[in-house]
Amino acid sequence: MKIIVLHGGVSNKPELMGKVEEYAEIAIEKSEPLEAVVEAVRLMEDDPLFNAGTGSNIRIDGSIQMDAAVIVPGDFGAVINIEKVKNPVLVARDVMLKSPHMILAGDGAVKFARKMGYESYDPSTKKAMEKRDRILNRLKNGEIPEYYHPEFFKEFLGDTVGAVAFFDGKYAAAVSTGGTGLTLRGRVGDSPIPGAGIFAGEKGAMVATGIGEEIVRRMLSIRVYSKIGKGRIEDICRQEIESFGDIPTGIIAVANGKPCAISNLSMPHAIVLR
């Protein structure tokens, strides 16, 4: 049995469902779950309609810093605040498979990417530049304080993209994000934090999306994982998402051969079984 679940970010446009479904159909053709989730995320990173890779948000200081992670039971790889690469998820996979480490950050992640053969790449788009200009104008006008509560993120959600897979008894998950426009340089959300934005073990795999700070506070993914076996995975995920109230949050998961995609806002997603 093969199962793959993709999401294109909570609060993202529901009309992107077709894109996510297309990418899920391509990714499920891979033979291994890790390669399937990486391919799914790579496809979304290359699509400027999603906030990951090309099309990532530009931070207040004008930089683009991206996070990505991959996980299989017993192993993990992530890049944090990586810059000037096209596909952070591919670098995260190489961190897991080709380095002695699990997480590389900042210029160290960039240097590793170059050694792995990834060329310099500018992921900015006109849409991202225009969004940053709007944020800067609001900061200058005093509409947003320089240091703000994450409550402000509701208006400037950056979304993430993610995938989970279950192929013949094996689980894997991958996630990538361009962060949000309303962030300081160096900010890290939930995506590359194991147990918060992503997790996988022998019982299942899950990836979260929403306001990173709130997901980290609740360690959403590991909470869901810890409850596997105590009810249907769909019910477990729904209960956890409901605990966030009106804070935009979503999660995709697969456990015991059952997939789900639950969110409290529109979340383009796809579930494919073979």
Catalytic residue set = 160
CA distance 140 to 134: 10
CB 273 within 8 A of CB 2: yes
Place of tokens 């099309």: 55
- Closest Cα to residue 190, out of 221, 148, 149, 154? 221
The encoded tokens of residue 2 equal 């093969």
- Closest Cα to residue 65, out of 140, 149, 158, 137? 158
CA distance 172 to 38: 9
DSSP 194: B
